[in-house]
Chain A
Amino acid sequence: MEKILELSHLGKSFGNHVVLRDINFSVKKGDVISVIGASGSGKSTMLRCINLLETPTSGEILFHDTNILNKENDIPAYRSKVGMVFQSFNLFSNMSVLDNCIVGQVKVLKKNKEDARQKAMQFLTKVGMEPYIHAKPRQLSGGQKQRVAIARALAMEPEVLLFDEPTSALDPLMVGEVLNVMKTLASEGLTMIVVTHEMSFARDVSNHVVYMDDGFIVEEGAPSQLFSEPKEEKTKAFLATILAEK
């Protein structure tokens, strides 16, 4: 399959504090990659680096074989092809649900408003939020907000969608509704990188799992392999702890 994204020797430090050390991995079209690991292991920072919300301090990020860290690179244009769903939703609180899904298409993709509206409705219907188009984000529950946030990202028709702990701020009842949407998207072939603490999602939905600790990728592989026969001691210890909690 066609390689979309490749991280090569990626490093990030905040001052003297090193968060990512020599991260290497690649994403092919249709991949659903789960990134797991303890809090503070650098998972979210890696995801934020991919979308350039953080600037990496070393290494390369290749998008269709072009290094996007080059100074000449048009960052907004790149970001419009790499969507992001945040833990804290980050819906625009001054806009209705519908406008949240329209504004990017009109301002960034320069679509006309009617086409954008149709596209927005298509994806809002997909996430089951079409009755709420007139609501403001503050009037929605967490799960509803997150589904709108997914629709907003999808409306840009990105090549890769990044999920930064999309269910961590939700109560258990709402986790299901968001995970179901994500499962549907995965089954439809959307390329996704998901930072998550939901081990069932990582095991059952993704086709590749990355385990991170202390800024390194400790181990990666197919979920069946990584969950049932982890090679590294650290992975075993992490899985033992987290699966015991469930």
Chain B
Amino acid sequence: MISEMNFLGRIIYILQSYGVSYLTGAGTTLLIALVSTVIGCLIGFAVGVIQTIPVREGNERTPGVYFLKLCQMILHAYVELFRGTPMIVQAVFIYYGLAQIWGIQLGMWQAAFLVVSVNTGAYMAESVRGGIISIDSGQMEGAKSIGMNHFQAMISVILPQAFRNILPQIGNNLIINIKDTSVLSVISIVDLFFVHKSVSGALYTYFESASIVMLIYLTMTVTVSRLLRLLEKYLDGSENYELADCMDIGNQMHKKGA
């Protein structure tokens, strides 16, 4: 029986019996982490952009500006609320709270995506704001000097640079999400950690199962961080550039017919 096996034997036994469950759990973990990080980034970019909308001198007392200030206050409160409370509590709060107070019965999947996205969004909002502020003001002035409005400048010039600069933080968030989705077991999401709890509970093999799960988490996070490094390299482009030769210049000038 399993109690008579050595450590390695028990691991092999667990993998043979529950390998697929672990993989499915890992898949769930990865799915929630990836999707929520992407949605969270979108939220973060939206909030960060709104938080950094400048008010034109002399326009401080117009209705539009009051509305903007109100939006910024609400978004600020959102950031503070979701950064300042544990995700495990947020999960319980949203999953059970929405049902009890407003009668909105979210599925546990919807709740899971919602909680992790909104949580990531709160963190990303501050990263994006920092990323936008850190771009040299000359970039915005250059864009304005050729007649771009604030949002054109944001989309074409500022955000691409801010995105590159905060990519390491996006990676951080993704890695944190891969690990922290483990708290979603409180709302019965069958993620990797939930599988671990079930298996170790059934077989009394806490250490062995934890070893497997540790290894799977580590594999996922290391892979993700490697991929993000590659993305950074790709975005930085080549250190060298090709001088355009006569043919190329001619082509660039006369492409119209093509």
Residue numbers of A with Cβ under 8 A of B are 51, 53, 55, 71, 76-81, 83-84, 86, 88-95, 98, 103-104, 107-109, 114-115, 117-118, 121-122, 125, 130-136, 139, 149, 152-153, 156
> For the complex, is B223 an interface residue (Cβ under 8 Å from A)?
no
Q: Which of B87-129 contact A (CB under 8 A)?
A: none
Q: Are B58 and A55 in contact, CB atoms less than 8 angstroms apart?
A: yes
Contacts A103-B156, A121-B252 given; does A53 touch B146 at CB 8 Å: no
Contacts A103-B156, A108-B147, A108-B152 given; does A90 touch B241 at CB 8 Å: no
Q: Which of A83, A103, A117, A134 lies in contact with B145, CB distance below 8 A?
A: A83
Q: Are B141 and A53 in contact, CB atoms less than 8 angstroms apart?
A: yes
Q: Are B237 and A136 in contact, CB atoms less than 8 angstroms apart?
A: yes
In the complex, number of A-B residue pairs with CB atoms less than 8 Å apart? 113
Q: Are A153 and B237 in contact, CB atoms less than 8 angstroms apart?
A: no
A103 cross-chain contacts in B, Cβ below 8 A: 146, 156-157
B119 CB → nearest A CB, Å? 29
Which chain B residue has the least Cβ–Cβ distance from A78? Answer: B147
A233 CB → nearest B CB, Å? 36
Q: Are A122 and B253 in contact, CB atoms less than 8 angstroms apart?
A: yes
Q: Are A104 and B255 in contact, CB atoms less than 8 angstroms apart?
A: no
Number of contact residues on B: which range applies?
Answer: 35 or more
A91 to B139, CA, bound (A): 7
Q: Which of B199-258 contact A (CB under 8 A)?
A: 237, 240-245, 248-249, 252-256
A114 to B156, CA, bound (A): 18
Q: Are B164 and A94 in contact, CB atoms less than 8 angstroms apart?
A: yes
Q: Are A93 and B255 in contact, CB atoms less than 8 angstroms apart?
A: no
Q: Are B244 and A156 in contact, CB atoms less than 8 angstroms apart?
A: no
> For the complex, is B39 an interface residue (Cβ under 8 Å from A)?
no
Q: Which of B56, B145, B148, B240 lies in contact with A51, CB distance below 8 A?
A: B145
A139 to B257, CA, bound (A): 31
A77 to B237, CA, bound (A): 33
Q: Which of B145, B149, B237, B252 lies in contact with A86, CB distance below 8 A?
A: B145
Q: Which of A94, A130, A156 lies in contact with B157, CB distance below 8 A?
A: A94
Can you report 10 residue pairs joining A to B where beta carbons are below 8 Å apart?
A81-B147, A86-B141, A92-B157, A93-B139, A107-B156, A117-B253, A118-B254, A118-B255, A125-B249, A156-B147
Q: Which of B57, B58, B241 lies in contact with A139, CB distance below 8 A?
A: B241
Q: Are B57 and A131 in contact, CB atoms less than 8 angstroms apart?
A: no
A139 to B237, CA, bound (A): 12
A74 to B237, CA, bound (A): 37
B88 CB → nearest A CB, Å? 39
